[in-house]
A and B are shown apart, each in its own frame.
Chain A
């Protein structure tokens, strides 16, 4: 304490001096033979890497599509996956990535003052175009987030269909929320909650390391949990993939229904052939479809209303609202110690009422934005229900195009493919007689 008094006093004096305002600056002296220098600031890093990244993306996408659709080589796809993981992940730090680029595009569309870099636009659009023609080959072997999960995936556990469908909706909702927060300039939540970027950079917050680590652990048994249930870009790619021009084929010739592909697919993306229904069931199905068609607008309306109620929690993402809440608690005396942000606010001399007004304006805005988000959630659920009510004939085991990431396991295990490659001489080497479907071969 005495030490503080002894040495602190001059500082307290200085503090008082400084408190008098900016006019009291100590003048910069003029020296007889020493000119006042000017500090230098370094140049930006060369932008060359961005061009290299775009080229690497184009090459990787082309190779992935070639390996998946033309040469049908699971081994090459796997090699490319490893290369992509090291290049886009560990070497380039997982940034720029196509998933996050969604937010830049959303921000650029809604905020005309934001100049979106060309690299980011290319990272967003190139995989979309490739997916429209070749399916999700981007997910197969280019995306570093997919790659890290692909490499740890042992498969083995099948998620029940209903749960798979339900969890799959999360990524659409996540996409909606990401677009909302990006477009309003609130936050880039995809980047903030990117589970694997902490591994790529070998640094990150404890929370994100735990999140990423547990996703990888889950991924050991349930293939690609992030891609299937969380990835917002995967949601877009899934939609585009379902109308793709070409797509990975499981069997090169007629299916023998051995079900090996269904067993080996860790992503639950292979759907069995449909069984013929009697007329009774068909009418029931039609009635259900009709019901769902009526239900969809109701769902949209209901969720839109629910969304407007979420104004308060959603607006918490906005730093201004957080600050206002902290200041309000401090004013009411219920506050914990002050935060850096509230200290800075007090120093700025900005009136409290202005802060409150601004926070309330944000909250009101998030009210109707929440309504839009809710409507989007309703739409997603409605469309999913309609989609599930539509029956499509399938004679073979097929890839479900929106869910298939073109990893190549299915055709790699297909006896017909092995036969085509000359690896086996007869189907019976892989499918013993007596197993389902193996009987007639």
Chain B
């Protein structure tokens, strides 16, 4: 095993050449990686990262949001746009098609978890007006109410709620979404609204005393 001094010296120059080559490649590698990182970091332009959001105008309420999120309880939940709501007595987002009575019994409700709170607001000219509010912790994002409400005003819509969303690199719901309603939005305004609702909210937000509207207007994309 130790009887080959000539070959040892033979390999010496080759090793040097090899070391030189790998040194060169390494320096090139570091430079490439560094400039790539610098280029990407410098070119970002936008202040923050991107986040997933549902474009409610594209959403058709298929129900995939409830089942395809990686979280046990989906990050997607229904949001009520009161400004678009008709305050109907017979709400198509609240009542199941086969309702037997206009009450809040579970079998009459569309919502499988009873997450919609129905409250009488006023009765005028013989017509009752009800307010429908989403009880956020109960909502599972199944979109049954969204689909029902779409028959009328379409004031109920789905949103990815960012206190829950893990912001996966590839959103599993986005992959399963049949209408490609999932879009990446800038993190500083991570919500969307229906096109119709946007001017209503922006109008309301002009009133300085209306903090809720201002907050919402600040969080939705204006375009």
Contact = CB atoms under 8 A, between A and B. Distances in A.
Interface stretch (A121-129, A290-298, A354-362): A121-129
Nearest 3 pairs of A and B residues by beta carbon? A26-B86, A117-B49, A341-B178
Nearest to B217: A38
Contacts of A112: 43
B161 A41 contact: yes
A113 B22 CA distance: 36
Contact of A28 (B7, B29, B51, B83): B83
Given A25-B153, A204-B70, A245-B26, A95 B62 contact: no
B204 interface: yes
Contact of A243 (B26, B131, B170): B26
A8 B100 CA distance: 11
B99 A7 contact: yes
A261 to B, nearest CB: 17
Given A105-B36, A440-B1, A38 B83 contact: yes
Interface of B: 1, 7-8, 11, 14, 21-23, 25-26, 29-30, 33-34, 36-37, 40-41, 43-46, 48-51, 58, 60, 62, 64, 70-72, 79-88, 90, 92, 97-100, 121-122, 129, 131, 134, 150-153, 159, 161-166, 168-170, 175, 178-180, 184, 186-187, 190-191, 196, 201, 204, 210, 212-213, 215-216, 219
Q: How large is the interface on A (under 10, 10 to 19, 20 to 34, 35 or more residues)?
A: 35 or more
Given A15-B151, A340-B60, A40 B216 contact: yes
A121 B163 contact: no
Interface stretch (A29-37, A221-229, A279-287, A303-311): A29-37
- Find the residue from A117, A120, A393 having the highest chain B CB count within 10 A: A117
Interface in A80-119: 93, 95-97, 100-101, 103-105, 108-109, 112, 114-119
A96 B82 contact: no
B92 A11 contact: yes
A117 B50 contact: yes
A40 B83 CA distance: 13
Given A18-B152, A243-B25, A191 B170 contact: yes
B29 A132 contact: yes
Interface in A3-32: 3-4, 7-8, 10-11, 14-15, 18, 22, 25-29, 31-32
Contacts of B150: 18
Residue of B70, B90, B92, B184 most packed against chain A (CB within 10 A): B70
A133 B25 CA distance: 12
A421 B201 CA distance: 72
Given A44-B187, A115-B50, A340-B60, A96 B175 contact: no
Contacts of B210: 38
A203 interface: yes
Nearest to A347: B60
B178 A192 contact: no
A340 B26 contact: no
Contacts of A393: 7, 11, 14
A36 to B, nearest CB: 5
A4 B98 contact: yes
B86 A39 contact: no
Interface string A163-205: 0000000000000000000000001100110000000010110
